[in-house]
């Protein structure tokens, strides 16, 4: 066993265990010898290869957290973490108790100690109310128990924050099983009105024409339902099938309420002081054949409207990161990335952070991006509040994981709010000079096709 002391917290590593059950037993045995009820402690054990998503889905509903990064639209190794319960939480990564625990991972390029699941709403100028009230406007949760997989390595961890007896009870109640319930076939329960969309488009184009804004992103919703309460993990499995290269996440603050996403868009990834961000803006559909895909991609690259929309996002990232970093670089031309239902223009931006710049500063500088809000952000946000009747909540917000050594944050698009037996999915389109209401409506419909998979029988039922 290795032990690391850092400020007020302690990190302990247990030698490799054969499987989850053995890992939980080893952690429980170590915890039996801890007598300090004020201890801030993280005990971690290496275990055999397992599936964090299935494990998390097998736990009792409520306070389950899951995040997978597989590079988004760019290259990068897959990283997956699932957690249950709450050992510690705060409204910011800078909160003292949260920061002290997360600092245990500063000695390597990966999260070897506690990891925080962090999220923030799209519009921090409003409070989290109604269906979004369980999430809070901003939140960081360090789970009590988590399972992590990076490449071919897996580990299980327990975080204790002043409650040793409670941690022992949580370990005794945890399930070592790894199964996912099969989702029923959903029915379409509601869709936005294209006439209302056209009216909003007319209003937004008027603001752009008069110079109030260069770009405004409008969003709409589509609802699905099934007869019984929805398991967010069964929905996520469908999304993983539809978008195998996407960031995946579940945020479940209580049973019956969850946010799920399968987004292609990385906000920022940090490894030590090295950061990478993606400008994802400009969209077209997929073709029925590889040849048609190539033709559509070529048209996307030639599209003045889409290139202008994309350039706005690249400039925003450059302006946001330049005061925070050095060695900032990006590709001279965007590339086209193909997802299951759409193709996007993407530019990758990389740099090295100045000393003292933390994750909160990066997020505050980058979000909301022009890809999900508009330019200037303040005027675009005013228009969104005026034109959209459904609060976005975490749609187009920030969702990710962080520790002292590394972090990974995605933009919450291709996402949905789950409430009991209903799934409300969101999709948006960037409106600039020359945008057409019918074309932008069709773009949102293509993006919602990811969730239309819920209307089909699951593969296990076929």
Query: pLDDT tens-digit profile of 208-247?
Result: 999 999 999 999 999 999 999 999 999 998 898 888 889 9
Q: How large is the angle between the packed helices 304-321 and 359-366, nearest 10 degrees?
A: 150
**Is 265 part of the annotated catalytic residue set?**
yes
User: Among the options 184, 215, 348, 447, which is catalytic?
Assistant: 215
| Cβ–Cβ < 8 Å for 41, 34 | yes
Contacts 24+ apart (CB under 8 A), 268-272: 268/362, 268/363, 268/366, 268/407, 268/408, 268/409, 269/69, 269/76, 269/407, 269/408, 269/409, 270/353, 270/359, 270/362, 270/406, 270/407, 270/408, 271/109, 271/405, 271/406, 272/109, 272/405, 272/406
Domains recognised in the chain with CATH numbers: 187-229+266-393+421-461 (3.60.120.10)
pLDDT under 70: residue ranges of the chain: 1-9, 36-39, 71-77, 106-110, 183, 458-462
pLDDT at 282: 86
Query: pLDDT tens-digit profile of 387-424?
Result: 999 999 999 999 999 998 899 999 999 999 999 999 99
**Is 8 part of the annotated catalytic residue set?**
no
pLDDT at 62: 93
pLDDT at 118: 98
pLDDT at 461: 41
CB neighbours of 307 closer than 8 A, spacing ≥ 6?
282, 301, 334, 345
pLDDT at 458: 67
pLDDT at 152: 81
User: Among the options 252, 265, 309, 348, which is catalytic?
Assistant: 265
pLDDT at 334: 92
| Cβ–Cβ < 8 Å for 242, 236 | no
């Amino acid at each position: 066993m290795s032990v690391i002391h850092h400020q007020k917290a302690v990190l302990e590593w247990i030698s490799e265990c054969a499987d989850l059950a053995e890992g939980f037993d080893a952690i429980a045995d170590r915890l039996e010898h801890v007598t300090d009820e004020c201890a801030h402690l993280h005990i971690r054990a290496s275990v055999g290869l397992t599936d964090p998503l299935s494990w998390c889905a097998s736990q009792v509903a409520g306070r389950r957290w899951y995040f997978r990064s597989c590079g988004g639209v760019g290259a990068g190794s897959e990283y997956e973490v699932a957690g249950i319960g709450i050992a510690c939480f705060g409204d910011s990564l800078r909160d003292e108790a949260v920061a002290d625990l997360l600092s245990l991972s500063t000695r390597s390029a990966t999260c070897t100690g506690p990891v925080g699941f962090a999220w923030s709403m799209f519009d921090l100028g409003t409070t989290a109310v109604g269906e979004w009230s369980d999430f809070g406007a901003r939140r960081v949760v360090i789970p009590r128990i988590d399972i992590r997989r990076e490449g071919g390595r897996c580990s299980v961890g327990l975080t204790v924050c002043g409650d040793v007896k409670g941690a022992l009870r949580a370990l005794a109640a945890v399930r070592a099983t790894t199964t996912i319930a099969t989702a029923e076939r959903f029915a379409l329960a509601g869709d936005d009105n294209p006439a209302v969309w056209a009216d909003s488009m007319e209003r937004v184009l008027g603001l752009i024409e008069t110079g109030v804004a260069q770009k405004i992103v409008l969003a709409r919703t589509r609802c699905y339902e099934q007869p019984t309460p929805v398991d967010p993990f069964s929905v996520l499995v469908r999304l993983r099938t539809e978008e195998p290269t996407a960031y995946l996440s579940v945020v479940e603050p209580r049973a019956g309420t969850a946010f799920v996403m399968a987004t292609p868009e990385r906000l920022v990834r940090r490894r030590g002081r090295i950061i990478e961000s993606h400008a994802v803006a400009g969209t077209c559909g997929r073709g029925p054949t590889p040849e048609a895909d190539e033709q559509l991609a070529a048209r996307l690259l030639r599209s003045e409207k889409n290139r202008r929309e994309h350039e706005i996002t690249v400039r925003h990232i450059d302006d946001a990161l330049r005061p925070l970093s050095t060695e900032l670089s990006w590709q001279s031309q965007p590339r086209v990335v193909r997802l299951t239902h759409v193709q996007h223009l993407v530019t990758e931006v990389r740099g090295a952070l100045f000393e003292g710049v933390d994750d909160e500063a990066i997020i505050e500088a980058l979000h909301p991006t022009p890809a999900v809000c508009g330019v200037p952000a303040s005027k675009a946000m005013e228009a969104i509040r005026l034109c959209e009747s459904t609060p976005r909540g975490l749609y187009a917000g920030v969702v990710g994981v962080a520790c002292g050594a590394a972090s990974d944050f995605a933009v919450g698009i291709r996402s949905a709010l789950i409430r009991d037996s209903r799934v409300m999915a969101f999709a948006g389109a960037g409106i600039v000079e020359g945008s057409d209401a019918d074309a932008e409506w069709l773009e949102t419909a293509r993006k919602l096709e990811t969730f239309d998979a819920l209307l089909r029988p699951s593969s296990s039922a076929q």
